[in-house]
Amino acid sequence: MPKKKKKTMAVHEMAELLGLKKTDSYWLIHKQKFQTITVNGKTRVVIESFEKWYANQVKYKKAGGPPPGEELRRNTYSPQEIAELLGIDDTTVYLLIQKDHIPTIKVDYWMRIPKSAFESWYASQSRYRTPEDRERDREVEEASMTMPEMAKELGIPRSEVYNCLPESVKISLPSLEKTAYRCRKKVLTVIEKLLDFCSTWTVSPAYTRRPGAITWMMRTRRNSIKASPTRKS
């Protein structure tokens, strides 16, 4: 008959496992770091609860056992890991945590960022990108232009380009910003909507291709800029 798996252990067994003295082991129990039960007047440590605690802390290590904090590392990032992930320095990560109010937790002497909190922040911005996303966005970036580039092609200030767009297009710009690296807008989408809703500008049927981008040759009916009824102030 197979031997039943132990569900609890004595306090001295836990102390030996962590290489602790009696006082230190009872301090952990006093701080309710894990669940305990009383059997025949003696305190015993619930092994499942102990292992859960062990996997989410980094201060105590089993003698000759696996390293602590396995679950903690799986569900959170350190600032150094985020710096490596985004290709920036540690100082920038700490500034982002403070400026963008990215949630953090402190485990023993470690600052950790929950992966869910990091992913939520990452999706809310487009300045900082992982190498994988940069590579994935490269094709979109090469077929896109920024608002200043579009204004240059049209020969007008950037504000004129933005103000010419109706509210429905303006609302869509934040989502367009997230589709490409460095907040670049999809040139086809934006220019098509620009032409659909604004009669101030026309596009030449001719266009040229340059390495890594598409240049639309735009010409303006400058005499109608001020009088255009579709421009929004």
The percent of residues in the chain predicted with pLDDT above 90, rounded, is: 48
Q: What is the pLDDT of residues 155-195, one digit of tens each?
A: 888 777 777 665 554 444 444 444 433 334 444 455 555 55
Predicted pLDDT of residue 38:
94
Amino acid at 189: T
Q: What is the pLDDT of residues 74-84, one digit of tens each?
A: 999 999 999 99
Give me the residues paired with residue 8 across strands: 46
Predicted pLDDT of residue 98:
95
Which uninterrupted H or E stretch holds 90?
A: helix 90-99
- Neighbour-count burial of 74, counting CB atoms closer than 10 A to its CB (0-12 exposed, 13-18 middle, 19+ buried): exposed
Q: What is the pLDDT of residues 121-152, one digit of tens each?
A: 999 998 899 988 888 777 777 777 777 887 88
Is 0.75 topped by the overall pTM?
A: no
Per DSSP bridges, beta strands 105-107 and 110-114 are antiparallel
Predicted pLDDT of residue 167:
57
Predicted pLDDT of residue 166:
57
Predicted pLDDT of residue 215:
33
When mean pLDDT is compared across 42-56, 93-107, 155-169, the lowest value belongs to 155-169
pLDDT at 37 over 70: yes
The predicted model gives 28-57 an average pLDDT of 95
Residue 181, classed as helix, strand or coil, is helix
pLDDT at 111 over 90: yes
When mean pLDDT is compared across 51-65, 113-127, 136-150, the lowest value belongs to 136-150
Q: What is the pLDDT of residues 11-31, one digit of tens each?
A: 999 999 999 999 999 999 999
CB 101 within 8 A of CB 95: no
As given in the structure block, the two tokens for residue 51 are 């292992």
pLDDT at 100 over 50: yes
CA distance 147 to 12: 68
Higher pLDDT, 153 or 226: 153
